């Protein structure tokens, strides 16, 4: 077993660019350069220190003038649903869900529809299988795919990294015409799976208070934020 606390961590800085979440800010990322960290155990240490991955790259925002991105993690063991989440948990009883090591053969039909109707102005349009796997999976990471079904119909997928004591929500896509809050349901399923498998934390990514699209993460309580190197 590698002792990561005895290894250095080399970081490379990306050029500054316009932030995807706060257009009035400039984004700069610190990217992990040491390949020995790129393993489930090494990444487990890094994600608990505020890092995330995109494909094989592990990064953390290191913006010069902005610190809006706050790492957040949800306590799966102590999770207490709100009133609206209790209603959504009842909705879950009519659905079927399963974590799989491979995607269903018809996944791309759902993914293409989701990108076309929800993100046609983004960099992932038009939908592309190779781009999806480059972004969502890593050759060195243990990753499962949450599948959610309404009857026999696949209605949602959530890419989920798996650690010994935690899960990490990487990306989700779902039926855009559904009346259900499928994005929220995916998180609830991930929390439930974490609790059932004895995993303490779900890492949903960075919380950005000034970005409305990111504020759903603080609806799952209790949670902790990483502030000045300490989870609080």
- Answer for the pair 153, 109: CB distance below 8 angstroms, yes or no: no
Q: Set out the domains of the chain in order of their start, with CATH numbers.
A: 4-70 (no CATH), 73-231 (3.40.630.30)
Tokens at 229, concatenated: 């190197």
SS3 170: strand
How far apart are the C-alpha atoms of 62 and 134, rounded to whole Å?
Answer: 23
Residue ranges of alpha helices (H) inside the chain are: 40-47, 83-92, 107-118, 129-136, 182-196
Which tens digit of pLDDT belongs to each residue from 10-27?
999 999 999 989 999 999
| DSSP class per residue in 76-118 | TTT----HHHHHHHHHHTTSEEEEESS--TTHHHHHHHHHHHH
Which tens digit of pLDDT belongs to each residue from 61-81?
999 999 999 999 999 999 999
For the chain, state the CA radius of gyration.
18
Which tens digit of pLDDT belongs to each residue from 102-118?
999 999 999 999 999 99
How far apart are the C-alpha atoms of 228 and 173, rounded to whole Å?
Answer: 33
Which tens digit of pLDDT belongs to each residue from 168-178?
999 999 999 99
What mean pLDDT, rounded, does the chain reach? 95
Contacts of 227 (CB under 8 A, 6+ apart): 70
Which tens digit of pLDDT belongs to each residue from 140-168?
999 999 999 999 999 999 999 999 999 99
How far apart are the C-alpha atoms of 21 and 27, rounded to whole Å?
Answer: 9
DSSP-derived pairing of the beta strands 52-54 and 17-18: unpaired
Cis peptide before 126 (omega within 30 of 0): yes
- The band of 214, judged by pLDDT with boundaries at 50, 70 and 90, is confident
């Amino acid at each position: 077993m590698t002792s990561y606390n005895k290894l250095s961590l080399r970081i490379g800085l990306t050029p500054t660019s316009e932030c995807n979440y706060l257009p009035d800010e400039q984004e700069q990322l610190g990217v992990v350069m040491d390949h020995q960290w790129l393993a489930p155990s090494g990444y487990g240490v890094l994600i608990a220190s505020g890092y995330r991955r995109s494909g094989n790259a592990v990064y953390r925002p290191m913006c010069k003038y902005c610190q809006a991105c706050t790492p957040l993690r949800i306590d799966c063991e102590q999770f207490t649903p709100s009133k609206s989440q209790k209603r959504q948990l009842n909705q879950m009883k009519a659905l079927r869900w399963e974590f799989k090591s491979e995607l269903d053969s018809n996944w791309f039909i759902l993914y293409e529809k989701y990108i076309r109707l929800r993100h046609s102005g983004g960099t992932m349009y038009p939908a592309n299988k190779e781009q999806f796997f480059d972004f969502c999976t890593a050759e060195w990471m243990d990753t499962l795919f949450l599948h959610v079904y309404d009857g026999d119909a696949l209605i949602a997928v959530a890419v989920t990294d798996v650690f010994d004591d935690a899960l990490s929500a990487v990306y989700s896509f779902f039926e855009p015409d559904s009346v259900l809050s499928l994005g929220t349901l995916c998180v609830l399923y991930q929390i439930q799976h974490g609790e059932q498998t004895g995993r303490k934390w779900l890492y949903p990514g960075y919380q950005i208070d000034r970005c409305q699209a990111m504020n759903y993460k603080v609806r799952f309580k209790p949670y902790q934020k990483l502030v000045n190197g300490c989870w609080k």
